[in-house]
Amino acid sequence: MNTDFTKPAPGRETEAPMPPALSLALAEEDATFDRFSRLSEQEKREFIGGARGLTTGYEMRQYVRAFVRGEQIL
């Protein structure tokens, strides 16, 4: 099981890794990272994919805050 979401899963090397700003936004609070950790592999990939169009750290933090509030973002 690939738990390093900054790198693609084995066999999926053509997929882009998690954007660094998203990693930082997730790491800001333990509860946020815990919630992310409980997602299924598919949900994690969808969550990461949803952040691909975001370009600033502010946008990433807003995206993560929406996730924490339970807003539908996937």
The answer to whether residue 74 sits within a structural domain is no
The answer to whether residue 63 sits within a structural domain is yes
68 touches 32 (CB < 8 A): yes
Residues spanned by the domain of 63? 20-69
Predicted confidence at residue 12, as pLDDT, reads 59
The answer to whether residue 27 sits within a structural domain is yes
Work out how many domains the chain is built from and give that number. 1
Whether pTM > 0.75 for this model: the answer is: no
Q: Cβ contacts of residue 10 below 8 Å, gap of 6+?
A: 2
Predicted confidence at residue 63, as pLDDT, reads 92
Low-confidence ranges of the chain (pLDDT < 50): none
